[in-house]
Structures are given as structure tokens and as C-alpha cells.
Amino acid sequence: MSRRGWLLFAAMCLLWGIPYLMIKVAVAGVSVPVLVFARTGIAALLLLPLAVRPGALATLRAHWRPLLAFAALEIIGPWWLLSDAERHLSSGMTGLLIAAVPIIGVLAARLFGDTTRLGPVRWAGLGLGMAGVLLLAAPHLSGGAAWPVVELLLVAVGYATAPVIAANKLAGVPNLLITASCLSLAALVYAGPAIATWPAELPSTQVLLALGGLAVVCTALAFVLFFELIREVGAPRAMVFTYVNPAVAVAAGVLLLGEPLTALVIVAFVLILAGSVLATARQREKIPAAVVAQPCPAAD
């Protein structure tokens, strides 16, 4: 891989590993609808001028149904659930649970008709990954604290399913147009709820910086760099950074927010990472360039 490829790869590891930290900071000062509206609205304003080209409107009209489904599963639903869950869970744990996306993606692909045989290695990966998720989630499944964990698992399902729609139904639509149009739609959906829950006073500087970082750096800039990374190294190699994001999320939470780094977190991280690598090892070359998802994601 070229030096430029490595730089883009390192940037994506960081940019889609730190949104969990910024979300944790932002939800302390604004409502979830305001957070999602600010993130999607600002990013859409930045990306639309880059995405709009002659014929773009006709392309959107021709693909509005899969675009709507993709937006719902990738942004509109997940970003609300993710932000709401972080009101109760640490940013590091959030990043680790979202790391189950590749594992769920294997199962989602089979539900959509993928007949690729799952050999012993991939079955072992699925088992290890799910064991890591259960280990991490188990302490939160009692005493009425289960809902945030369920929210994150729903996010993971959305993130895993949306790329299948993109690959099967949106392959002819430019990546940047998909992203900008879906962000714009999400901003419209959340405009009303955001206005209804707008803060009475200006949030703290820390919260404002977190909102700005989420919108400008972790969303708009991250998607532009993601597409550049795909062009530089190809989609299969570009997607490898998703295995590094959980480590970045945990490290950021520990170093900057003082979140605990327990043995349970470490073991769960190893299980989920190993499971993701094994479960997807033989299908990476099948990931199409049209896929624009993985949280930020972040994704998330």
C-alpha cells in the first residue's frame, strides 16, 4: 500500500473510532434529536455541493425507494438509537458492541440470498464474536438497564443490513450522492423534533465542539476520505480499518473520559475482533465499492 493509502487508512481508523467519544460529550448538553439534526444537517450542507451533478435529481427519483430504506437503516434510525444509548453506556462499550457489525453482516447477507458456504472457520468466528457481545452485554441485562444494549444491537443490525441494500439496489448511484441525499433526508426528519427540544441556553463550548466535530470531521470529511481510500486501495482493503475502530473508541474513552478499562472489556474486545476477522475472512473480496456504511460510523 502506498504512503497516501496508509495515511488515508490511519485517518479512517481515527475518524470513525472517535465519534463515540464525541457523542458521549454531546448528549450531556443537548437532546438526541438536536444532536442528530446538527450532525446530519451540517454534514449535508458540506457534502451536497460536492455531490450534485447533472442528472443527480433524475438518479434520486429512479432510486428513491432503496435510498429511503438505506437512509432509515444507516442513519435515521441508528444515529438516534446510538446517541440515546450513550446517555447510559460508556463510549468504549458502545464502540465494542457496534464492532459486532461484520458478524451480523454475515448473517444478514445470508438472509438476503447469499448462498456462500460457511465453513468451520467462519462458524467459529460467528461464535466467538457473539460470545464477546454476550460477555459485554450480560452485566446490563438486568435491573431495567437492558434497553440501551438492545438499542446498540439494533444499530448493529441496521449498519449490517444497509450495505446489502446499497450493494444490490444502489450500485449505479455515486457514493457521495447516496451519502449527501441520505444525510439531507435525515436532517429533514429530525428538524421538527430538534426544534421542539432546542436547548434554552447555549450549550457549553465542549458540547459545541463535539457537535461540530461529529458533523464536519467524523461525517463530512470522513466520508470524503473514505471514498478516496477506496479509490486508492480498493474496497476490500479499505474496509479493514473497521477492525481498528473499536480499539480507538476504547482508548479514547479511557484516556479522555476516564472510562474504566476492565478485564471484561479487554476479553470482549479480543473475542469480538477475532470473531469479526474469522467470520468475514473469506468474503472480503466480495464487498462492493458502493458500500458506504460502517459506523461512525461510526458510524458511526
Pick the most confident of 48-52, 185-189, 246-250, 273-277.
185-189
Pick the most confident of 125-134, 198-207, 230-239.
198-207
Q: Global pTM?
A: 0.82
Q: How much is the average pLDDT of 181-191?
A: 96
| Whole-number pLDDT of residue 284 | 45
Residue from 120, 128, 152 nearest 268 by CA: 128
pLDDT band at 239 (very low <50, low <70, confident <90, very high): low
Instruction: Reply yes or no on whether the pLDDT at 81 is more than 70.
Output: yes
Which has more pLDDT, 36 or 157? 36
| Whole-number pLDDT of residue 116 | 63
Residue from 162, 156, 164, 175 nearest 102 by CA: 156
Give the CA distances from residue 126 to residues 34, 73, 154, 170, 271, in Å, rounded to whole numbers and listed in that order. 36, 22, 17, 28, 10
pLDDT band at 236 (very low <50, low <70, confident <90, very high): low
| Whole-number pLDDT of residue 66 | 93
Instruction: Reply yes or no on whether the pLDDT at 234 is more than 90.
Output: no
Instruction: Reply yes or no on whether the pLDDT at 30 is more than 80.
Output: yes
The per-residue b/e assignment along 108-139, b for 16 or more CB within 10 angstroms, e otherwise, is bbeeeeeeeebeeebeebbebbbbbbebbbee
pLDDT band at 97 (very low <50, low <70, confident <90, very high): confident
| Whole-number pLDDT of residue 131 | 83
| Whole-number pLDDT of residue 132 | 79
Mapping DSSP to helix (H, G, I), strand (E, B) and coil, where does residue 197 land?
A: coil
pLDDT band at 177 (very low <50, low <70, confident <90, very high): very high
Which has more pLDDT, 207 or 126? 207
- Report how far residue 137's alpha carbon sits from residue 148's, in angstroms, rounded to the nearest whole number: 10
Residue from 295, 40, 288 nearest 156 by CA: 295
**What is the average pLDDT score of the chain?**
83
- Report how far residue 131's alpha carbon sits from residue 119's, in angstroms, rounded to the nearest whole number: 18
- Report how far residue 249's alpha carbon sits from residue 22's, in angstroms, rounded to the nearest whole number: 10
Mapping DSSP to helix (H, G, I), strand (E, B) and coil, where does residue 75 land?
A: helix
**Hunting for cell 457473539 — which residue is that?**
130
- Report how far residue 144's alpha carbon sits from residue 154's, in angstroms, rounded to the nearest whole number: 17
